Amino acid sequence: MQRVLIVNADDCNLTPGVTRAILECHDRGILTSTTFMANLPVEAQTVRELKRRRNLGVGIHLNVTLGAPVEKPRHVRSLLEPGIGTFRKRANQLAHLPETGDLAGEYRAQIERFIRLFGRRPTHLDTHHQLHDHPFFLKVLAGVARSLGLPMRRSKLFVQKEMRSGIKSTDFFFGNLSPEGYWRPGPLETVLTHLPEGVSEIMCHPGKNDAALAALSSFTEGREEELRLFSSPGIRRLTENLGISRAHFGLCYT
């Protein structure tokens, strides 16, 4: 079997600096895919820059922990901070699970907005803060993915066969959501050197560490390190020398 690698950057459209970093990693390095936060304010130029890169897969980073909903607030009340109209933070979403219909409705509304912006469906689905590693969020996301016939990012819960039934996803997944767990050269080179046969996804979070990012995220310095690493021509040469095929979800799961 061939070794196929999807290098996916989360959080596209979180800040202008994060988006610029993602584009740099695609243009110069090994990044092949990104996932777009469709509920946040969108600049037309951002969409144009992403569409111009025809080899960059663009999926959707379904987000119910930051910002405001795409759906009308009265239809997704269980997702929102009372009296504020913005999403509850991750810890509160997990401690007080929303209504199934509210979550599925917001996921679908974000996908529909993505389609209006890009004129096509996303290459795949995943979630901000990897919420679908929780059984409730995975069940809802998997239902949306199955109904639309779209691939989605692996969950650690896929070890349970019933959790992945009917789902299109990669064979392997590598990544760490901890701000301290960002990619360094040694661990990345080890993963690439020992990449298994089949389709693998490496999740990353490159970005520019600026004031806009610091206002929204605790993951700051590590994003700059990942920008340098995933835009490195040396890492790109390593994947080529190892005979690894780089792709995105749209090429692997049509």
- 3-252 placed in CATH 3.20.20.370: yes
Residues 222-253: tens digit of each pLDDT: 999 999 999 999 999 999 999 999 999 999 99
Q: What pLDDT was estimated at residue 192? A: 98
pLDDT at position 176 is: 86
pLDDT of residue 159: 85
129 phi-psi bin (left φ>0, alpha ψ -120 to 50, beta other): left
State the pLDDT at residue 160. 83
Q: How far apart are CA 76 and CA 52, in angstroms?
A: 34
Partners of 246 in the β-ladder: 5
Average pLDDT taken over every residue of the chain: 96
Q: What is the 3-state secondary structure (H, E, C) of the chain?
A: CCEEEEEEEEEECCCHHHHHHHHHHHHHCCCCEEEECCCCCCCHHHHHHHHHCCCCEEEEEECCCCCCCCCCHHHCHHHECCCCCCECCHHHHHHCCCCHHHHHHHHHHHHHHHHHHHCCCCCCEEEHHHHHHCHHHHHHHHHHHHHHCCCECCCHHHHCHHHHCCCCCCCEEECCCCCCCCCCHHHHHHHHHCCCCEEEEEEECCCCCCHHHHCCCCCCHHHHHHHHHHCCHHHHHHHHHCCCEECCHHHHCC
* Tens-level pLDDT at each residue, the chain (254 residues): 799 999 999 999 999 999 999 999 999 999 999 999 999 999 999 999 999 999 999 999 999 999 999 999 999 999 999 988 999 999 999 999 999 999 999 999 999 999 999 999 999 999 999 999 999 999 999 999 999 999 999 999 998 877 888 899 999 999 988 878 899 999 999 999 999 999 999 999 999 999 999 999 888 999 999 999 999 999 999 999 999 999 999 999 96
